[in-house]
Structure formats: C-alpha cells, structure tokens
Structure 1
Amino acid sequence: MSTNHLFPFQFQFFGEYYHYHYIFETLAFIIGVRVYYYLKKGTVDPISDENRLWIMLGAMLGALIGSRFIAILETPGQLNHITFFTLYQSKTIVGGLLGGLFGVELIKKIIGVNIASGDLYVVPIIIALLIGRVGCFSMGIDEPTYGLPTTFFAGMDLGDGIKRHPIMLYEMLFLIILLMLFKFLKNKVMLNGDRFKLLMVLYFLFRFLIEFIKPYEPLFLNLSSIHWSAIFIVLYYYKFIIRTLKSAFTERTKEHG
C-alpha cells in the first residue's frame, strides 16, 4: 500500500480522479509540433512540404507500432497473455524512436527522397521528451519507469515507502544537457543528418546505461528489449560513430600538435 500521498499526481474532474500524465503526453505532442514548425520557418528545407508531410506520417505510424512492440518485449513473461487493451496501454519512447526511424526510412524509399531528414526534429523531440517525462515522473510507481531501491542521496519515495532511483528526473536532467549541447552545436558546421544521428546515439546510450538501475525482465543474454534496442542503434550508426570519433581525435591532435 502506498505510503506517499504525493504520487501519483492526480486531479479530480466530475468526481473522478485522473492522472496528470495524460495531460503532459498531450502537451508533449502539441508543443513538440509547434516547436518544429517554429524552427522550420527560419530554415531552408531541401525537402518539399508534401514529402515532409509523408515523412512525418511515416514517423508517426512507425512510432505507434514500434512503441508497442518494444514495450511488450519488456515483459517477455507476459507475451502469452497479451490482450488488445494491454497492447494499447503498453508503450515506450525507445520503441517509438526506433519505429519512427524505420517508418521514415521506409517512406523515404517509397517517395524517392535520398536526403537526410532528421535534423529539423532534434530540438522538438528533446522538448517533447522532456515534457512527457514530467508526466512519467508524476506517475510514481504506477508506471514502470521507476528505479531500483537505493541509498543514493537522490533516492525518493515514489509511492511505496521505498527510496528508489528517480529515473525520470535523471532523464530530464540528461535531456536538458542535450538541449544545451545542441544549442552549442547550432552554428557548428556538420553534415546534414548528423545532428539527428548524434541525438539517437547519445539518447540510446543513456537508456542502455540507465536500464541497469531499473527493475527489468531480461529478453536475451540478461539484457532487456531496451538494451537490445540501444545496441541496434549503435550498430546501425556505427559508421557515424567511427567518423565522429576519428574527427574528434584528429581535432584534438591538431590542438596539441
């Protein structure tokens, strides 16, 4: 039984209690889209508005499928008991980003677009994630985004009387750092598409590491579906990672040369 009346955050409407999480999810989507269109105004987009619309549609459909697929794999022991309701309720942003990536690449092949299209979405994605994570944090232990019990100074009672790692607060801090990083890189010369690749690699590496301080069910080799999603992204972008590391090493060598 919960010993912390703060979690989950709820509001009353016509005698019924609702989670604030749903409000933050909606705000994340609306504000993310508005930020995208705001940033797009000052940018020369080599992709036509029609093709950009198709790409966004591919991203949304891919995210819808991917978020559910990876989420149900987070609890492999329950795969034999999946219902439409549990499938609908299950979702994870890792699967959303992974599915969105596949959706975009598929649509781009169909409509014949060969230009990298992700850079415009970097800041809107981070802002949407940040807002959404406030909602996840507000759920306490009512949503499986909490951490393992800990004696770490940041440990919090999220609703069950046990001090746990506040995973969502860690992620919010990480997302703020990402925003600062991409603001710093705003006027840096980078290849088209590299900002999006950098976001994906950094975010998935973070999720790979943070997963170890969360209770999770292993999918394969004692790693969860989140772990395997992160490994896939690192392998998918391995050429970008090698090129970036080589470039950073070369720059450092020149500075000390």
Structure 2
Amino acid sequence: AVFWIEQPVLWAEHGGWAGFLRGGQSLVGGLLGGLIGVEIAKKLAGVRQSSGDVFVFPILLGIVIGRVGCFLAGLHDDTYGLPTALPWGVDFGDGIRRHPTQLYEITFAGLLWAALRRLQARCAAEPGLLFKLLLSSYLVWRLAVDGLKPVAYAYPFGLSGIQWVCLVALGLYLPLVVRQWKRLP
C-alpha cells in the first residue's frame, strides 16, 4: 500500500484494486505491513509474548543484501538519489552523478547493527524493545534519506508518500518505544 501512496498515478495505470493486490516495492510498507500482520496473527492465536527481537539482525542483513541489489539495478530500481556534485556521486548510466542512497542505507544498516548489538543485553529486560528500536530507527532514517531522492508525487511540504508514512508511523510507534525504554533497569 505504501508503494501506491508513494506513486498514486500508478494506481490508475495498474488497474486500481487489481494492481494494488499485485503490490509494489516498499521496504517501509513491508516492515509496517509485516508488523501489523504478525500482531493480528498473534492476537488471533492468543500469543502474548513479543516475537520481533529474534528478527532484528536478519532484517538488517536483508536490508544490506537488498540495497546491494538496488545499487546494482541502477536507474531501473528508483532507489537512487538526487543529482550531486559530491565526489562520491555515482553515475547510474544516464551521465548524471547522483547520491548513492543505496550505499548510504547499507552504511546505516551496518551502524544500526553495531548500535543494537551493544544494546541487545540491556534490552533483553524488555522483550520487543530491540525490534521497536530497529523499526523506529529505520523509519527516522527513511524520513531523512528520502529527502535525497527524487519525489515522484509531492505531498504537503514537498514530502514523498514514504516520508508521510514514516511520520505517521513514528507518531504512533515512538510513544510505545519511549514507554518501554523508560522501563529499562
């Protein structure tokens, strides 16, 4: 659904609801949709304990592997950044040096991995907190890094659909993170 928020013109071009059901490409949507789906399934199954912490490092590894693929895909992937004169700008085949936002995200995922590893033992006292830190950190990251990407459809304040989804999700999710963080010994 986040993909359709990001590029609403494609809604009509891809057949409305039928196209919606085929889906799009959005890691933010995958993470948020996965979270919602897991929480609904746990509720229906009567599972009360947190399950997300065991997935933190596999998710980060998946982000790294996925962004390597995005980088190698070049312009066809739509994950590249805006034009830049910075020396590390990358020409993805169109003669324009762009921010390699995929490489920025790989670096971010590595740094987040290290930070969460350091916090892992402390967060064990609050099951689910490590996952909440991963998700909230990633949403903040995407809110920031997507400012370096072309905006296919600008929403209010020039933000992209993904940035708005990140803002809304953070508004709903950060209070949970803060409340759980405050309970740490």
AA of the residue aligned to 2:2: I
Over 3 Å off, 4+ runs: 83-89, 240-248
TM-score relative to the length of structure 1? 0.64
Counterpart residue type for residue 152 of structure 2: E
Q: Is the 8 A contact 2:142 2:166 kept in 1?
A: yes
SS in 2 for 1:192: coil
- Determine the C-alpha separation between the residues in 2 that align with 1:246 and 1:218: 38
Alignment of 1:71-90 (within 5 A): 71-83=3-15, 88=22, 90=24
RMSD: 2.3
Is the contact between residue 72 and residue 87 of structure 1 (CA under 8 Å) also seen in structure 2? no
Q: Which runs of 5+ in 1 are unaligned?
A: 1-68, 252-257
Give the Å deviation of 1:177: 0.5
Answer with 1 or 2: which has the greater Rg: 1
Q: State how far apart, in whole Å, the 2-side matches of 1:244 and 1:220 are.
A: 32
Q: 1:214 aligns with which of 128, 142, 149?
A: 149
Match of 2:163 in 1: 227
Q: Secondary structure at the match of 2:122?
A: coil
Q: Structure 2: how far apart are the matches of 1:79 and 1:160?
A: 27
2:25 equivalent in structure 1 = 91
Q: CA deviation at 1:247?
A: 7.7
User: In structure 1, what is the Cα distance between the partners aligned to 2:139 and 2:102?
Assistant: 15
Q: How much identity, in percent, do the aligned residues show?
A: 38
204-213 or 237-246, larger mean C-alpha shift? 237-246
Can you give the 5+ residue segments of structure 2 that lack an aligned partner in the other structure? Answer: none
- Could you say which residue in structure 2 is the equivalent of 1:105? 39
Deviations along 1:95-153, whole A, 9 cap, x unmatched? 10010011011111111112221111101100111111110110111111000001122
Instruction: Tell me if structure 1 keeps the 8 A contact 2:42–2:48.
Output: yes
Give the AA of the match of 1:126: L
CA contact (8 A) 1:141 1:159 kept: yes
Paired residues of 1:76 and 1:217 also in contact (CA < 8 A): no
Specify which of 171, 176, 183 is matched with residue 240 of structure 1. Answer: 176
Hey, what's the Cα distance between the residues in 2 that align with 1:87 and 1:107?
Answer: 20
Whichever residue aligns with residue 10 of structure 2, its letter is Q
Do 2:50 and 2:127's aligned partners in 1 also have CA atoms closer than 8 Å?
yes
For the pair 1:170 / 2:104, whether they are aligned, the reply is yes
Q: TM-score, normalised by structure 2?
A: 0.88
Contact conserved, 1:108 with 1:114, CA < 8 A, in 2?
Answer: yes
Give a deviation string over 1:20-65, Cα, whole Å, max 9, x none.
xxxxxxxxxxxxxxxxxxxxxxxxxxxxxxxxxxxxxxxxxxxxxx
